[in-house]
C-alpha cells in the first residue's frame, strides 16, 4: 500500500468526491466528460505525504497562484467521465502539488493523467478565495439540464430575476442558497476570461451560472456543494412543472413568505 492510501482522512475525502461524481452522472448532469471537480486536500495530509516525489515534470501555469504555493489538490482528469471517477477516482483524477512560487504544478499521485481543461480557472478561483480569507476547499462544475435550460431564456440572465424565481419555488431553496446566484454571460469553456468573470460573481455568491453551459459552486464541503446545486435544479424542475400544470407565469412564494424564512432561519 502506498503512503497516500494509508491516509484515512484523505481516502475518505476522495471517496466523498467519488460519491458526488456518481450523483452527477445518475442525475444526467455529466454527459461524456462534462463537468470537473477540484478539492484542496492540503490540510488532511502530513508533511511526509505532502513531499512525496512528483511523477511528472513541472507543468507551467499561465498565471502565478501566489496564495496556493505547496498546496495539494485532487482534480478530475481531462477528458475523464464522472461515471468512471465514481468507481475509480485515482484512474480518472490526480493529486497535484503547486510549486512554492505558484508558477507551476506537478502530479504526485497516482498516475500521470493530465488534470481537467478547467484547471487554470479552478486554481484562479481557489487562489482568489484564499486571498480573501475564505476556506472554500471545493470547486464543483457540472451541467444540470433544467438549470441550463433556464439560462436559454434571456429573461433569466439576470441574477436577481433567476434568484427570486428559484428561491420562490420551494422554501428550502431560500434557506440553502441564501446568497443567491451569480450569472456569467456565455464564454468559451476553459478560458481564463470565463474564470475572471466567475470570480467577479464569487464576490457576492457561492454559486454561479454559466449561460448555456452549466453551473459552478464553491464551498467547504463537496456534499454541500452538490446539495446546493441539487436544490436549485429541483426548483427549476418545479418551475417547469408549474408551467406544465397550466400556470403560464408561476409567481412562486410571495416576498413576505420569503422574508419570513429569513427571520425564521436567521439567514
Binding region for ligand 2HA (CB under 6 A): 33-36, 116-118, 141, 189-190
CB of 34 to Zn ion, least distance (A): 6
Cβ proximity of 79 and 133 under 8 Å: no
Q: Which is nearer to ligand 2HA, 97 or 141 (CB)?
A: 141
Residue 245 phi, psi (nearest 5): -75, 0
Q: Which cell goes with 38?
A: 477540484
Binder of residue 116, out of Zn ion, ligand 2HA, none (CB less than 5 to 8 A by kind):
ligand 2HA
Give CA angle at 13 (218, 77), nearest 5°: 70
93 touches which of ligand 2HA, Zn ion, none (CB within 5 to 8 A by kind)?
A: none
CB 185 to ligand 2HA: min, Å? 15
Q: Give the integer Cα–Cα distance in Å for 209 and 140.
A: 12
DSSP assignment of 91-104 equals: TSEEEEEE-TTSSE
Is residue 118 among the annotated active site residues?
yes
Which among 31, 118, 172, 211 is annotated as catalytic?
118
Minimum CB distance to ligand 2HA smaller for 183 or for 238: 183
The nearer residue to Zn ion, 77 or 214, going by C-beta atoms, is 214
Closer residue to ligand 2HA in complex, CB, 39/173: 39
Q: In whole angstroms, what is the distance from residue 29 CA to residue 21 CA?
A: 10
Cα–Cα distance, 66 to 197 (Å, whole number): 19
Q: How far is the CB of 123 from ligand 2HA (least distance, A)?
A: 15
CA distance 51 to 80: 26
For residue 40, the partner it binds in ligand 2HA, Zn ion, none, with Cβ less than 5 to 8 A by kind, is none
Q: Supply the minimum distance, in Å, between the C-beta of residue 118 and Zn ion.
A: 7
Catalytic (active-site) positions: 118
Amino acid at each position: 500500500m502506498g503512503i497516500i492510501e494509508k491516509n484515512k482522512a484523505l481516502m475518505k475525502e476522495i471517496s466523498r468526491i467519488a460519491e458526488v461524481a456518481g450523483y452527477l452522472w445518475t442525475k444526467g448532469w455529466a454527459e461524456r466528460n462534462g463537468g470537473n471537480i477540484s478539492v484542496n486536500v492540503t490540510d488532511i495530509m502530513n508533511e511526509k505525504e505532502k513531499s512525496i516525489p512528483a511523477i511528472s515534470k513541472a507543468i507551467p501555469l499561465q498565471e502565478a497562484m501566489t496564495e496556493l504555493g505547496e498546496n495539494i489538490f485532487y482534480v478530475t482528469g481531462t477528458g475523464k467521465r464522472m461515471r468512471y471517477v465514481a468507481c475509480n477516482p485515482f484512474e480518472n483524477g490526480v493529486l497535484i502539488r503547486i510549486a512554492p512560487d505558484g508558477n507551476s504544478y506537478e502530479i504526485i499521485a497516482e498516475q500521470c493523467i493530465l488534470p481537467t481543461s478547467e484547471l487554470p480557472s479552478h486554481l484562479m478561483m481557489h487562489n482568489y478565495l484564499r486571498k480573501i480569507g475564505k476556506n472554500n476547499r471545493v470547486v464543483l462544475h457540472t451541467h444540470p439540464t433544467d438549470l441550463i435550460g433556464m439560462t436559454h431564456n434571456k429573461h433569466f440572465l439576470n441574477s436577481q430575476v433567476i434568484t427570486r424565481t428559484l428561491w420562490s419555488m420551494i422554501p428550502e431553496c431560500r434557506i440553502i442558497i441564501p446568497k443567491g446566484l451569480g450569472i456569467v454571460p456565455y464564454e468559451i469553456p476553459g478560458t481564463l476570461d470565463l474564470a475572471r468573470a466567475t470570480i467577479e460573481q464569487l464576490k457576492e455568491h457561492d454559486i454561479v451560472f454559466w449561460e448555456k453551459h452549466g453551473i459552478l459552486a464553491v464551498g467547504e464541503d463537496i456534499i454541500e456543494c452538490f446539495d446546493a446545486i441539487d436544490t436549485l435544479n429541483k426548483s427549476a424542475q418545479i418551475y417547469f412543472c408549474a408551467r406544465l400544470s397550466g400556470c403560464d407565469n408561476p409567481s412562486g412564494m410571495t416576498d413576505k413568505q420569503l422574508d419570513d424564512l429569513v427571520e425564521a432561519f436567521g439567514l
